Structure 1
Amino acid sequence: MGDGTGRGMTEQDPRHPRWVYGHGSEPDPRFTLANERTFLAWARTVLGLLAGAVALHSFQVPSADGVRIGVILLLVLTALSCTVLAMVRWARVERAMRERRPLPAFSTGFILAGALLIISVLLGFSLVS
């Protein structure tokens, strides 16, 4: 895929996005594969969030319609946000590895944790009342 010199892509390299693969040199494949596994872990998290939304909708828990719809929307919005943030994080990490720079901060996890905290509090209050 590269030009054999470790400098990066050639004009014929078909990989996208170019703003990731068009910079730096090829990192150790183990690191790239670990980055891909991390992205797939985020995808599993998104699937779990969507499954939770479907379960709340199907089983009508909590029983208060307004709270249930609100929590379902929060779960779906969190899933959507995680999808976008996971793609961006994958690209930022891949590019940082290619350019031999420090990896970006782990802000995506804190965003997910905050969203799940809000969802948990809403569900907790709705189930108690």
Structure 2
Amino acid sequence: MIFTDGLRSAGAAVRLWFAPARIRAEGTTPDYRFSLANERTFLAWLRTGLALIGGGFAVDQFLPRLHPGMRVTFTVVLLAGGALCALRAVNHWVRCERAMRRGEDLPVTRFPTALALAVGVLAVAVVVLVLLGRTG
């Protein structure tokens, strides 16, 4: 029962991604400056996702001497991170917009921390490989 309620709730949230006008049915219209700031944050997350995707392609194309397994791992991690970032951007935009309309606190998320740690670990791994001369 709890699982199906969770799926139903998640499905309703995803439907809002494709019909943002439905958000207007909730609460009152916030100050437009806040909605526009929310949109700028959304666009910043999309840029971050695109940068991660670009990094994935760069690793694949410009590190040919890197061990194939490592190169594929780094590439996939960066590409998946970029995709997650884009999906998280739209989800966070909807959640924030709904919270503002309802007069609630903005939602908190651990995603930026997880993303920063993943990128940091990946960067350290690449630095070590460069220092060892294994990136060719």
Q: Residue 98 of structure 1 is aligned with which of 96, 101, 126?
A: 101
1:49 aligns to what?
A: 52
Q: Residue 118 of structure 2 is aligned with which of 115, 118, 127?
A: 115
**TM-score (norm. length: structure 1):** 0.79
- Kindly report the root-mean-square deviation, in angstroms, between the aligned alpha carbons of the 2 structures: 1.9
1:54/1:70 Cα in 2 relative to 1: closer, same or farther (>3 Å)? same
Name the one with the larger helix percent: 2
**TM-score (norm. length: structure 2):** 0.75
Report 1:58-77 matches (<5 A).
58-60=61-63, 63-77=66-80
Greater Cα offset, 69-78 or 98-107: 98-107
2:20 aligns to what?
A: 17
1:87 maps to 2:90: yes
Note the C-alpha offset of 1:117. 2.4
CA contact (8 A) 2:28 2:101 kept: yes
- Aligned residues, how many? 115
**Consecutive aligned runs of 4 or more in structure 1 exceeding 6 Å deviation:** none
Structure 1 regions of 5+ residues with no counterpart?
1-14
- Identical aligned pairs, as a percentage? 36
CA contact (8 A) 1:56 1:62 kept: no
1:35 aligns to what?
A: 38
Note the C-alpha offset of 1:18. 5.5
1:119/1:95 Cα in 2 relative to 1: closer, same or farther (>3 Å)? same
